[in-house]
């Protein structure tokens, strides 16, 4: 029981780290796309730019968050540590869908959707990987 409570409390660190990771990932993704378009003879089309940047942002956010959770509490229970992040991502996606339904479903919505989904997927995968490394 104590392990479950600590796992839940530690997973709350996901929220600020996911936001920081997504911002950092957006910058790194944009730099990656810029450099790729600069040195490659085939530039990345607009649709793919959004996808690449979003996936990089989601990967960095998920990895950073999961690494922090495992470093803070090594005996984290993965199912419990997914509760707060899943709620946060679902609420973010509801906000995105609500905003897009009033304005338009455009590339900005697609970017947010891919970034949020990839953040929670990479958080889960990296949490599982980091947890197996500590055992």
pLDDT tens-place string over residues 99-121 = 888 887 787 788 889 999 999 99
What is the rounded distance in angstroms from the CA atom of residue 115 to the CA atom of residue 41? 27
- Interval 14-33 mean pLDDT: 95
Copy the structure tokens of residue 101. 């339904």
The band of 10, judged by pLDDT with boundaries at 50, 70 and 90, is very high
What is the pLDDT, as a whole number, of residue 17? Answer: 95
The 10s digit of each residue's pLDDT in 28-51 is 999 999 998 889 888 888 888 999
What is the pLDDT, as a whole number, of residue 133? Answer: 77
What is the rounded distance in angstroms from the CA atom of residue 94 to the CA atom of residue 71? 31
Tell me the domain boundaries of the chain: 2-134
Taking the whole predicted model, whether its pTM rises above 0.85 is answered as: yes
Do 117 and 54 form a contact (C-beta atoms < 8 A)?
A: no
The 10s digit of each residue's pLDDT in 46-85 is 888 999 999 999 999 999 999 999 999 888 889 999 999 9
| DSSP helix/strand/coil, 76 | coil
Distances 128 to 66, 75, 100, 111, 121 between C-alpha atoms, Å: 9, 12, 33, 26, 11
Displacement of CA 2 from its chain's centroid (Å): 27
DSSP 31-71: HHHHHHHHH-SSPPPHHHHHHHHHHHHHHHHHHHHHHHHHH
**pLDDT greater at residue 13 or residue 103:** 13
The band of 135, judged by pLDDT with boundaries at 50, 70 and 90, is low
């Amino acid at each position: 029981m104590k392990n479950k409570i600590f796992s839940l409390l530690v997973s709350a660190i996901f929220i600020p780290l996911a936001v920081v990771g997504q911002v950092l990932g957006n910058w790194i993704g944009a730099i990656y796309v810029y450099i790729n378009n600069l040195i490659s003879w085939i530039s990345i089309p607009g649709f793919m730019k959004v996808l690449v940047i979003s996936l990089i942002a989601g990967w960095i956010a998920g990895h950073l968050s999961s690494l922090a959770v495992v470093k803070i509490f090594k005996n984290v229970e993965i199912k419990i540590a997914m509760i707060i992040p899943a709620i946060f991502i679902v609420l973010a996606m509801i906000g995105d869908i609500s905003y897009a339904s009033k304005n338009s479903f455009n590339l900005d919505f697609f970017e947010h959707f891919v970034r949020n989904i990839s953040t929670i997927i990479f958080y889960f995968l990296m949490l599982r990987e980091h947890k197996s490394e500590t055992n």
